[in-house]
Amino acid sequence: MAEFKDISPNAPAGAKLGNWLHNRFPTAFDAYRVHMSEYYAPKNFNFWYIFGSLALLVLVIQIVTGIFLVMHYKPDATQAFASVEYIMRDVPWGWLIRYMHSTGASAFFVVVYLHMFRGLLYGSYRKPRELVWIFGCAIFLCLMAEAFMGYLLPWGQMSYWGAQVIVNLFSAIPFIGPDLALLIRGDYVVSDATLNRFFSFHVIAVPLVLLGLVVAHLLALHDVGSNNPDGIEIKANKDAQGRPLDGIPFHPYYTVHDIFAVVMFLIVFTAVIFFAPEMGGYFLEYNNFIPADPLKTPNHIAPVWYFTPFYSMLRAITSEMMYALIACVVGAAVFGVWKTRMASVAKIAVVVAAVIACAMMLSIDAKFWGVVVMGGAVIILFFLPWLDKSPVKSIRYRPSWHKYLYGVFVVVFVVLAYLGVQPPSPIGERVSQVGTLFYFGFFLLMPWWTRLGEFKPVPERVTFAAH
């Protein structure tokens, strides 16, 4: 038991209360000290470093609004749609809570995508932050599961058929696919059993996992320290007291910095809620204002915008595309055998692997490979720390053409997102196929292209202009 600290009887009431709490709950004060007042963050954070805090803010918004929605929502196929309408029309301020939650889902993915792109720009996934990045990717995967399961709950026409299409994709997996799809649905079609399963996962199971991952992400980050736009480890230069020379306490400096960002974000967030909550059908699809009808399929089924890049990749994998992928596998194997310095055993292994891959791609339906590509587009992010072989972390000190390549990557991702919303077309299919090849080429060829070019010298200390 720690010794109690005495305080002067003449001390202010606030100081006395603080001392009383500190004597009885020192762990909380130690956590505040370690993670806030004595956590030294690089002093050269810029605009890109606000999105982590905004993601936490939106998480809180989603949890709070979700709690209020659950008070009135009925997880029953015969009552779900009506209960959402009841919330919107009859519950005091229910429309506001529902719009906050639906807009918050899209806002969550906006800030998370920007947060991940910042990590890509400044090499925040590189040593010693590999585990921080892996936890972050797991959070992203968890968010996708949470959003997908929540998407079904309004029991609208697009919710129902979107869930039907996505769950049916699992049935394309050889051997276990049909049983896996049945396990997910709880029935042979999307029904009341599916709604109850998705409700329990959306409200209880996935949020618990998500919160655990967020805590792990933050603890891992604070153990190794934050990255910065220069990609320099500030712990390498310390003063006599062991404090980083290029670091400042997170509180109060960055708490004030983030409060300003929070205010700006909330202004935009509330503007969307009050003036464009459906965002032209991208945040809330118009078909979702129609009750689910299992007997009437919508003319065009598409997921919410934040899933559409991956949905485009799924649709891009056709029988014709499979032959192009086989050609890529053969070309990569030939290049690996003839143009690299590998042992004979390794070359034989490459040839055998290529033959097996080609045989599998020819014998298994393209629908399955579409699911593999869609899932692989997310899973490949977990391996980014080991794919990037650049001698420097930050984009600031990489060759100029690297910046253009990152720019093209962003454009391709946005185009894939747009095409995923549109009805299928021959031109859209071709563009999606090219975009899919570029997306995977960007990551899979990283061990090669990230080493190329003339790199700028990295300074020993962070660059910072006082303002």
- What pairs with residue 41 in β-bridges? 248
Q: Is 72 annotated as a binding residue?
A: no
**Distinct helix (H) and strand (E) counts, the chain:** 19, 2
- Tokens 């899933």 belong to which residue? 307
Give the integer Cα–Cα distance in Å for 229 and 123: 9
Domain extents for the chain? Answer: 33-278, 305-449
Peptide bond into 128 cis (omega under 30): yes
Give the integer Cα–Cα distance in Å for 411 and 234: 33
Tens place of pLDDT per residue across the chain (467 aa) = 567 777 888 888 888 888 888 888 888 888 888 888 889 999 999 999 999 999 999 999 999 999 999 999 999 999 999 999 999 999 999 999 999 999 999 999 999 999 999 999 999 999 999 999 999 999 999 999 999 999 999 999 999 999 998 898 888 888 888 999 999 999 999 999 999 999 999 999 999 999 999 999 999 999 999 999 999 999 888 888 888 888 999 999 999 999 999 999 999 999 999 999 999 989 999 999 999 999 998 888 889 999 999 999 999 998 888 888 888 888 877 877 776 677 777 778 878 888 888 888 877 788 888 899 999 999 999 999 999 999 999 999 999 999 999 999 999 999 999 999 999 999 999 999 999 999 999 999 999 999 999 999 999 888 877 65
Buried b (16+ CB within 10 A) or exposed e, 100-126: bbbbbbbbbbbbbbbbbbbbbbbbbbb
- Tokens coding 196: 């109850």
Q: Is 467 annotated as a binding residue?
A: no
SS3 state at 217: helix
Q: Is 217 annotated as a binding residue?
A: yes
Q: Is 402 annotated as a binding residue?
A: no
What is the CATH T-level fold of the domain 305-449, as seen in this structure? Cytochrome Bc1 Complex; Chain C (1.20.810)
pTM score, whole prediction: 0.92
Distances 121 to 46, 115, 231, 236 between C-alpha atoms, Å: 13, 10, 10, 22
What is the CATH T-level fold of the domain 33-278, as seen in this structure? Cytochrome Bc1 Complex; Chain C (1.20.810)
**For 212, what's the count of Cα atoms within 13 Å in the CB-facing half-sphere?**
8
Q: Is 257 annotated as a binding residue?
A: no
